[in-house]
Amino acid sequence: MVSTDGYGLGRLERLGGVREVWPDEAVDFTPWLAENIDVLSDAIGLPLTVVAQEVAVGEFRLDIHAVDADGQAVVIENQLGPSDHSHLGQLLVYASGLEAATAVWITTRLREDHRSALTWLNERTDAGVRAFGVELSLARIGDSVPAPVLDVVVEPNEWARATKKTANAATSDLQQARMAFYDDVFGLVTTRYPAIQPPKTQPGNWISFASGPFGYYCLTFSRAGYRVEVFLDTQERRTTKALYDGLRARREEIEAAVGFALEWDRTDENRSSRIWASLPGFDLLQADEATRDEAVEWSAERAIGLHRHLDGTLREQAALLKRGVGLAE
């Protein structure tokens, strides 16, 4: 039973012994992280899609090769122990070998000299290259099951200040309106449905959240209008289309479950596919306060509905398809 204080709050307890959960880094932790890449995505604020595990780069093997929402390479080096010089060197080899835009080093403790090294990289390298240092631990509240915790201890210089910079910059009225709208939507979503965490990425005409091996969810403003969508992209055309086709075959069942109509676009000319709910006639700049509030409510309901009823299926099916299960020869 969980003991609580006078406000009904429990106490978060940090646990040791990550190897009690993941005895072997390559056999246990790396596959777990690849299957649950959204945990890392949420921590660093960057949508990630896994491309492959244990990738040969020179004489070494990269733990996870991923890509971000722009298709740029991301290298992820795992270390179930305190950081050391050997893994730092390997991280640099992987980043250069794959011409990565982002390098992520996960350890149980990032030593101060290695923090300094990653900080130095962020300060000296091109703005398009990012390095993250992440510390892994376990935590629980009362008698709850252990939960993974990823604490970002080093991040690119502009990352931590991005929100403040953007707010202070001479952004257009439309950009400011979109940012405020996104903030209101995710404020409502996370209050009602904590399974979705607010994204840390800087938004433009769209903002993604809760990414995984299937792609990601997003709120999108486009010439065609405003929508809340599931963007399907397993980084391989065949598996993406198989994932879409499996969902499309269950259209009536899915729409009944989420409680609203969806639009389906296989986009045969592209690798990706899309499923979305649209809000016809919504003009963010022209909307009065009541209309805007209704759009925030509408968006939160759609985001929660899609995630609640599709997320488990999306992640499970995408993982199976990537392993070749269910693919026609």
The H or E element that residue 306 is part of is helix 289-322
> What is the rounded average pLDDT of the residues 192-214?
83
Q: 175 with 120, same domain?
A: no
- pLDDT class for 251, splitting at 50, 70, 90? very high
Domain match, 72 and 19 both: yes
- In this prediction, residue 13 carries a pLDDT of 80
pLDDT at 326: 65
Banded model confidence at residue 163, pLDDT cuts 50, 70, 90 = very low
Pair (281, 181) in one structural domain: yes
Q: Is residue 164 part of a domain?
A: no
Whether 105 and 202 share a structural domain: no
Q: Identify the CATH number of the domain in which residue 197 sits.
A: 3.30.1460
Q: Is residue 201 part of a domain?
A: yes
Q: How many other C-beta atoms lie within 10 A of the C-beta of residue 57?
A: 16
Question: What percentage of the chain reaches a pLDDT higher than 90?
Answer: 53
Q: pLDDT-based confidence at 7, cuts 50/70/90? A: low
Dist CA 137 CA 146 (whole Å) = 10
CA 88 to chain centre: 24
In a domain, 328, yes or no: no
> What is residue 39's predicted lDDT score, i.e. its pLDDT?
87
State the pLDDT confidence band at 324, using cuts at 50, 70 and 90: confident
Query: If pLDDT is split at 50, 70 and 90, which confidence band does 165 have?
Result: very low
> Of 122, 139, 159, which residue constitutes the final position of a domain?
159
Does residue 233 share a domain with residue 153? no
Over range 183-194, report the average pLDDT. Answer: 94
Give the model confidence (pLDDT) of 280-307 as tens digits. 999 998 999 999 999 999 999 999 999 9
**Tokens (6 digits) for 64:** 């996870």
Same domain? 296 vs 191 = yes
Domain end call among 134, 159, 184: 159
Predicted pLDDT at 211: 86
CA distances from 26 to 61, 125, 193 (A): 10, 30, 33
Domain boundary among 112, 134, 159: 159
Mean pLDDT of 1-9: 64
Mean pLDDT of 137-144: 84
**pLDDT at residue 80 tops 90:** yes
Same structural domain for residues 218 and 314? Answer: yes
Determine the pLDDT at residue 170. Answer: 38
Residues 132 and 189 in one domain: no
3: in domain: no
In this structure, the answer to whether residues 113 and 255 fall within a common structural domain is no
Burial class, 128, CB count within 10 angstroms (exposed 0-12 / middle 13-18 / buried 19+): exposed
| pLDDT score at 172 | 66
How many domains does the chain contain in total?
A: 2
Does one domain contain both 125 and 179?
Answer: no
The mean pLDDT of 155-161, rounded to a whole number, is 67
CB neighbour list of residue 28: distance below 8 Å, 6 or more residues apart: 21, 22
- Supply the range of the domain harboring residue 135: 12-159
The Cα–Cα gap between 71 and 68 comes to 5
Range in 4-8, 43-47, 107-111, 316-320 the model is least confident about: 4-8
The answer to whether 229 and 222 have CB atoms below 8 angstroms apart is no
pLDDT at 169 over 60: no
> Is residue 236 predicted with pLDDT exceeding 80?
yes
Which residue from 96, 113, 48, 115 is spatially nearest to 105, judged by alpha carbons?
A: 115
Q: What is the mean pLDDT of residues 142-160?
A: 82
- CATH of residue 131: 3.40.1350.10
pLDDT-derived band at 166, boundaries 50, 70, 90: very low
Cα separation of 112 and 129, whole Å? Answer: 21
In a domain, 298, yes or no: yes
C-alpha span between 53 and 62 (Å, rounded) = 7
Residue 101 shares a structural domain with residue 198? no
Q: Would you say residue 283 lies in a domain?
A: yes
DSSP bridge pairs for 206 = 220
Identify whether 254 is part of a domain: yes
* Contact (Cβ atoms closer than 8 angstroms) between residue 261 and residue 278: no
Secondary structure (3-state) at 292: helix
Residues 73 and 187 both lie in one domain: no
Mean pLDDT over each residue of the chain, to the nearest integer: 87
Within a domain: 188: yes
